[in-house]
Chains A and B, each alone.
Chain A
Amino acid sequence: MIQSVALLLALAHPLGNFSINEYVGLTVGPHQVSVVAIVDSAEIPTLQDRPAVDADGDGTVSDAERAAHATRVCAIVASSVHASVGSDRLVWTVGPSTFDYAPGAGGLSVSRLRCSLSAAASVSPGESVSVENTYLADRVGWREMTAVGDGVGLDSRLPAVSVSHELTDYPRDLLASVLDVRSGTARVVSSGSSSGTVALPTGGDPVSRWLAGVDRTFQDLVGRGQLTPAVGLVAVLLALLLGAGHAALPGHGKTILAAYLAGKRGRRRDALAVAGTVTLTHTGGVLALGLVLSAGSALAGDRVLAWLGLVSGVIVLSVGVTMLLALVRRGRAGGHGLLHRHDHDHDHTHGHGHSHAHGAGHPHGYDHSDGHAHDDSHGHDHEHPHGDGHPHNHGVHDGHGGHHDHDHVHSGSTAPRRTSRLGLAGIGLAGGLVPSPSALVVLLAAIGLGRTGYGVLLVVAYGIGMATTLTGAGLLLLAVQRRLARTARGSSSRWASLLARVNAVTPAATATLVLLVGAGLAVRAAVGVL
């Protein structure tokens, strides 16, 4: 059983002695598109091609032979690099081309081909230039592409600068895979000054950025090789802080809390109970999901979260429907006598465009704690640590400061209270259901490091932090509410009648809003899942 594949060692060339590495640098101007194509061949392909370069077969390669080879191969490259503006395929004119040898490993040579291609094209703002490199597609090696505008502004995912300095200095970062970019597009956004890719801003508002920083520090702490008592204590404190900060971000049922307290003309105990419910749901969800994810290798975390998002949306939706139905029933039953004042403090401050503290590319690494021996020569392991980097679906529990829940219930009637408690529980569930990614990451990291118990402790600390913020917010609301109530009582009758009128309309409006928000959440999550 010859496994010669495995016999070759990593050699002096950064990408192996039989790699063929290619770079395509795209320049878009208002009247011309041009490409610099570079092919860096390692020792073996260079040796393989030598008979083709040495056209007269005399064993040496003359300057004329090199120039002829460059022209010949660049023509092939030109036919293999496909570019178009809009739907118009560009036809390249091959400009100056060079082919050179350089000393390589083991007394052999490496070679470098440089082709200049250009095509006339009028490129106006809004149009896209697409490029695809198919030259020697089946050969092992680095594939890189860049795009810059020359007299026009570009919007492109392709970088403006070559990380390998046009195949002269390959990055040796252990955590970087070989680049393999074979196609890309660049949209002309303006006819102004040249620009490459605009770097995405990393943070949102200062609070989110600060939280993200704490988050990172925290995860680094948990991942440390040695866990001293001091470090452990700091991590627990940080978990408390993070949980508190996290709960201060949009979502997490602060609106529910507000509505609950408003509806019940709240008591302090209620603030504690509701905050506790959301926190418990959340903590329990994180623990359950974390344990499930770390146990089952076939589970995809992102899919799980997407499903949870859907469920959460459906719950909010059904609560909205229930609220409306209850209103209708009550309207028939007794009219206005049952309607109450609703001071609902929505916490709308954060608005819908939530900038989540965890940023977009949150690497939710969960790994398997046992080392899988992947293979060498005669067989192989196929249990890989499962992929992640899921874009976690935060939209669901965060950001929509629109969880309007109103307790339209009134002391004395037990049946409605029951319904209402179920509704509240539903909304609380929806709010706490989708686990906070940072808590999940911390738990999974701890499990990955064989410190499951510690991870659970941290998640619980995180939950306590959340509860503290939520309770604090609830008590604050309570104080504000009481003050308002006193003001209303003491003020003129005009002010009171206005309040009453607002109160009469609000239940229907908020029920509709809850329904709409629920529908929106459910549809958005469903798009991701189905």
Chain B
Amino acid sequence: MSRPRRAAWTVGPVTVLALAIVIVGAVFGRTPSPSSDTQAAQAPDRLQQSIEAAQQRLRRLPGDWQTWAQLSLAYLEESRITGDPTWYAKAQDAAGQSLAVKPNGNLAALVAQGALANARHDFATAQRLASTVVTQDPYNAGAYSVLVDAETQLGHPAAATDAVQHLLDLRPGLPAYARASYDLEQRGLTQAATDLMTRALGSAVDRSDIAFTRNQLGDLAFNAGDLAAADAQYAAGQKADPTSITLLRGRARVAAARRDLAGALASYATLTTRMPSPSYLLEYADLLRASGADPSPQLRLARAAHDLFVANGGVDGLTEAALAEAEGNPAAAVRAAQAEWDRRHFADVADALGWALHLAGRSREGLVYSGLAVAGGARSAVYAYHQGMIELSLGSRAEARSHLAEALAINPYFSPLDAPSARRALADLGT
């Protein structure tokens, strides 16, 4: 045997063996992938791990613009899960850092900035950023995620559906399913939306993902008036993540619908101290009013929280309109809703503007917007209730009767204050 061949005899098998062992090690070294809810409850927090990993890496490689952009998105995700808004500023700075390192052609940072713009309700900016990215990189699933949300909220349903289809094709998974489900819900296809969300549950691994998915399923069931199914979903979600605030809110709404006002109020007291967001505080105030208690301290808190949001450059005409309404200032509510409508033609905004106009004594104008809210096909008890009440004030009794009955048919528990009001109005209308 010649010497080189002998060397090859030694080196060849060794290399092959090394490769084999690496692959075997890789297979055995796989992290266990939990599939059921309870297993996931013990799973480590992957988001936390990824944040720490990125932080450590960037301490060493501060010029790694990709990781800066990823860290920005991870901070944003953390904000969504914990509700702690601290992360927004960090997400913004991390994206800025990425752009500072690589100012040109940095699509990852643009996606991060787009996601942040969505979170801050600056949907036009988000849409612009995401569109820029997908023209340059039509396979960027992250950009399509941002684009779906922006187009939906801007009231461009066709563009939103197109983007969601791209997203489903490029990266099917929880983010795509959740967005597609919301898209279906906007079209009134509640059953299809539920089916898709159920499929999404199968791909949820992290606690927070399971909690999120269960919450969406619970909301879908609740909005269809199915209290038992809603409660079951929320409870299953709480099993995966007992600390979730959104799931606590879901259960509180079910309790209120079942006339357990004391339980519902206790839950709202807990969740609004943990997460004093204007929308939760407004719901709490509604519930207090329904139980005959004074809602004004909660309204003051909601106002303070919203003022802080605005003082920091946030824009949210919908919350502003709801607050002004609750404070008995319909003129301010109209101004806020109108301003939001000028920014985006989304169904929620049309509904809010219609209702504000009605409360301000401009019911005829209001009816136009109220009609626009349902034009996209969304099945919402709230939209139908508003439409019916506006029609009632305009003397269109038949239409009012039909819309009020529709509201109660969709979800007899849609609001602790408005559902009883719909019932009374319907009774007054007679049959």
Contact = CB atoms under 8 A, between A and B. Distances in A.
Contacts of B55: 175-177
A276 B85 contact: no
Given A176-B55, A281-B15, A365-B61, A307 B319 contact: no
Interface string B375-409: 00000000000000000000000000000000000
B292 interface: no
Given A2-B279, A48-B301, A375-B80, A382 B50 contact: no
B119 A377 contact: yes
A232 interface: no
A353 interface: no
Contact of B53 (A3, A12, A361, A387): A387
B67 interface: yes
Interface string A408-440: 000000000000010011001100110000000
A386 B174 contact: no
Nearest to B70: A385
A382 B204 contact: yes
B61 A387 contact: no
Interface in B129-180: 140-146, 148-149, 152-153, 173-179
Interface string A1-13: 1111111111110
A522 B350 CA distance: 69
Given A6-B79, A7-B279, A284-B18, A379 B176 contact: yes
A448 B205 contact: no
B33 to A, nearest CB: 6
Interface string B246-289: 10000000000000000000000000011111111000000000
Given A223-B64, A276-B11, A386-B53, A376 B115 contact: yes
Interface stretch (A186-194, A288-296, A468-476, A482-490): A288-296
A7 B53 contact: no
A308 interface: yes
A494 interface: no
A4 B318 CA distance: 11
Contact of A382 (B3, B115, B149, B206): B206
Contacts of B59: 175, 363
B431 interface: no
Contacts of B85: 8-11, 16-17
A372 B156 CA distance: 24
B57 interface: yes
A373 interface: yes
Nearest to B212: A380
Contacts of A175: 55, 58-59
A4 B278 contact: yes
Interface in A268-312: 269, 273, 276-277, 280-281, 284-285, 288-289, 292-293, 296, 298-301, 303-308, 311
Interface string B204-219: 1110010010001001
Contacts of A47: 300-301, 304
B51 interface: yes
B56 A389 contact: yes
A288 B205 contact: no
A377 B312 CA distance: 20
B118 A376 contact: yes
B146 A367 contact: no
Contact of B174 (A7, A177, A382, A425): A382
B68 to A, nearest CB: 9
A45 B275 CA distance: 10
Contacts of A425: 10, 13-14
Interface residues of A, number: 103
Interface string B173-205: 111111101100100000000000000000011
Given A12-B312, A105-B308, A377-B119, A371 B140 contact: yes
A308 B21 contact: yes
Given A7-B121, A429-B14, A379 B179 contact: yes
A29 B55 CA distance: 37
Contacts of A363: 53, 56-57, 59-60
A62 interface: no
B288 to A, nearest CB: 15
A19 interface: yes
B76 interface: yes
Contact of B87 (A10, A373, A376): A10
B108 A371 contact: yes
B26 interface: yes
Given A10-B92, A223-B60, A365-B53, 15 more contacts: A4-B278, A5-B277, A8-B305, A10-B85, A17-B305, A140-B274, A175-B58, A177-B55, A285-B18, A299-B29, A368-B70, A379-B148, A384-B46, A387-B49, A387-B52
Interface of A: 1-12, 14-19, 43-45, 47-48, 51, 105-106, 108, 138-140, 174-178, 216, 219-220, 222-225, 269, 273, 276-277, 280-281, 284-285, 288-289, 292-293, 296, 298-301, 303-308, 311, 361, 363, 365, 367-389, 421, 424-425, 428-429, 432-433, 445, 448-449, 529
27 contacts: A2-B279, A8-B85, A8-B88, A8-B314, A10-B86, A11-B312, A16-B85, A44-B301, A47-B300, A48-B276, A225-B65, A288-B19, A298-B31, A305-B25, A367-B53, A373-B146, A377-B119, A378-B149, A379-B148, A380-B80, A382-B46, A383-B173, A384-B49, A384-B77, A386-B46, A448-B64, A448-B67
Interface of B: 3, 6-7, 9-11, 13-15, 17-19, 21-26, 28-31, 33, 44, 46-47, 49-67, 69-70, 73-74, 76-77, 79-80, 82-90, 92-94, 97, 101-102, 107-108, 111-112, 115-116, 118-121, 126, 140-146, 148-149, 152-153, 173-179, 181-182, 185, 204-206, 209, 212, 216, 219, 243, 245-246, 273-280, 297, 300-301, 304-305, 307-309, 311-314, 316, 319
Closest 7 CB pairs of A and B: A387-B49, A373-B142, A379-B178, A365-B57, A223-B61, A303-B29, A363-B56
